[in-house]
Amino acid sequence: MILLSPEEEDEIATQLAGSGWYKAVGEILASEGSPSVLPTSDWRHHWVVDTLRRLEASIPVLLREPELVPNWMETGPNEHPLPPPAEYPLLPRPRASEYIHWVCDNITNQQPEAAPRPAITIPGPPYSLLVIDKPGSSNAFSYGFGANGGSGIVVYSGFLDDLFHRNPSPPPEGVQVKPSTLSWLFGGSPSSHTVQTPPKPTEEQTNELAILLAHEMAHLILSHHLESLSSFEVVVPGALSIFSDIVRVLIFPFTALLGPFVNDAVAQLGKVGSGELAKLGEYCTTKRQELEADIVSAR
């Protein structure tokens, strides 16, 4: 359930577009201290961004699942089973205002245009990316909404380190580099030296990285950022406030007899209970979103 208006969505997307995403994510990371970001020239950043771009190229397949995999259960004995096509295809949500105009045209007997259909595209790619140099953290998270780089993924280097520890790749080969004549004239060593080339990730390591990135991409495709804004800031607080007020009205005849102190104590208990229920609602919403992201990332 997303209760934000199209204008509010556009405002968020505009704020996060371009450099806005990096600024917003930087404020989140600042709470962890002073994170060090791997430069784009680092081989680990190249590896992650290449894998991310390969996954982005597969997104159009999600829009055509029913026609591409009509008989998904009919697999051979040596074939991997495919995830079933989505009951609700991954299409962008149409503007509610478009439906309102369409209904009004029908009511006033005007010639309405065809019912609005969303464009066959998923806004977002190419996604922004940050690789944080934090060996002790084997994690990643996604953040944002909208196109023009307004959504993206943050990967911690600790996850990449764990990949290489679990699935060790062949050691990098050394390349002999001979000193140039110019460096020798200015006091350089006449002997050659060995430069270690960056390790080359195996296909198995890239697959494990792709599993992580696909999960975070699924959060972005499903607009979970907007869902969280609606749930945690509008739906849950509003519902809890209404419920708390109803309970206080029902028990007021009893608490009024016991004096204002008891009434205030009951009100305070109501606030504490509302806070705990809000935490429970946030936990349940997060669990549901994680399951949704797992399913879409498998596809």
Q: What percent of the chain has pLDDT over 70?
A: 58
* Domain presence at residue 210: no
Q: Which of the four pLDDT bands, split at 50, 70 and 90, describes residue 103?
A: confident
61 shares a domain with 20: yes
Flag whether pLDDT at 77 surpasses 90.
Answer: no
- Domain final residue pick, 167, 193, 212: 167
Q: Is residue 65 part of a domain?
A: yes
Q: Quick check: 258 pLDDT over 80?
A: no
Segment 118-160, tens digit of pLDDT: 445 677 889 999 999 999 899 999 999 888 889 999 999 999 9
Residue 111 lies in a domain: yes
Gap between the Cα atoms of 224 and 235, Å rounded = 15
Q: How far is 102 from 96, CA to CA, in rounded Å?
A: 10
Domain edge (last residue) among 145, 167, 189:
167
In this predicted structure, what is the pLDDT of residue 184? 47
Task: Let me know whether 162 and 181 are in one domain.
Answer: no
The pLDDT of residue 203: 92
Number of domains into which the chain is organized: 3
Same domain, residue pair 120 and 36: yes
Mean pLDDT of the chain: 76
Is residue 155 within 8 A of residue 131, CB to CB? The reply is: yes
pLDDT digits (tens, 9 = 90+) for 152-195: 999 999 999 998 888 776 666 555 545 555 454 545 555 555 55
138 and 10 within one domain: yes
pLDDT on residue 270: 57
- pLDDT tens-digit series, residues 194-245: 555 778 899 999 999 999 999 999 999 888 888 877 766 655 556 656 666 6
Give the pLDDT score at 166: 84
Which pLDDT does position 154 carry in this prediction?
Answer: 96
pLDDT score for 151: 92
Domain co-membership, 146 together with 50: yes
Token representation of residue 9:
């969505």
**173, amino acid identity:** E
**Residue 158 within a domain:** yes
pTM of the model: 0.71
Which phi-psi region, left, alpha or beta, contains residue 192 (left: φ > 0; alpha: ψ -120 to 50)?
beta
216 part of a folded domain: no
d(CA 149, CA 49): 14
Same domain membership, residue 85 and residue 229: no
pLDDT at 5 (0 to 100): 73
Q: Are residues 135 and 248 in the same domain?
A: no
**Is residue 206 one of the residues assigned to a domain?**
no
Residues 122 and 25 in one domain: yes
Residues 251-272 have a mean pLDDT of: 63
Per-residue 3-state assignment (H helix, E strand, C coil) for the chain:
CCCCCHHHHHHHHHHHCCHHHHHHHHHHHHCCCCCCECCCCCHHHHHHHHHHHHHHCCHHHHHCHHHHCCCCCCCCCCCCCCCCCCCCCCCCCCCHHHHHHHHHHHHCCCCCCCCCCCCCCCCCCCCEEEEECCCCCCCEEEEECCCCCCEEEEEEHHHHHHHHHHCCCCCCCEEEECCCHHHHHCCCCCCCEEEECCCCCCHHHHHHHHHHHHHHHHHHHCCHHHHHHHHHHHHHHHHHHHHHHHHHHHHHHHHHHCCHHHHHHHHHHHHHHHHHHHHHHHHHHHHHHHHHHHHHHHC
Identify whether residues 145 and 6 lie together within a single domain: yes
Share of the chain above pLDDT 90, in %: 29
Judgement on whether residues 194 and 151 belong to the same structural domain of the protein: no
Confidence of residue 21 (pLDDT cuts 50, 70, 90): very high
If you search the block for the tokens 């084997």, which residue do you land on?
138
Tell me the β-bridge partners of 141: 154
d(CA 28, CA 33): 10
Residue 230, in any domain of the structure: yes
pLDDT in the model for residue 124: 82
Q: Which residues contact 120 (CB under 8 A, 6 or more apart)?
A: 63, 91
Most confident of 32-36, 73-77, 244-248, 288-292: 288-292
pLDDT band of residue 260 (cuts 50, 70, 90) is low
On whether residue 26 sits in a domain, the answer given is: yes
pLDDT at residue number 159: 95
Through-space distance between the first and last CA atoms of the chain, rounded to whole angstroms: 23
pLDDT at 120: 52
Is residue 159 domain-shared with residue 78, that is, in the same domain? yes
Q: What is the mean pLDDT of residues 32-59?
A: 92
Name which residue leads in pLDDT, 4 or 16: 16
How many angstroms separate the CA atoms of 83 and 297, rounded?
Answer: 10
6 and 97 share one domain: yes
Which range of residues forms the domain containing residue 23?
1-167
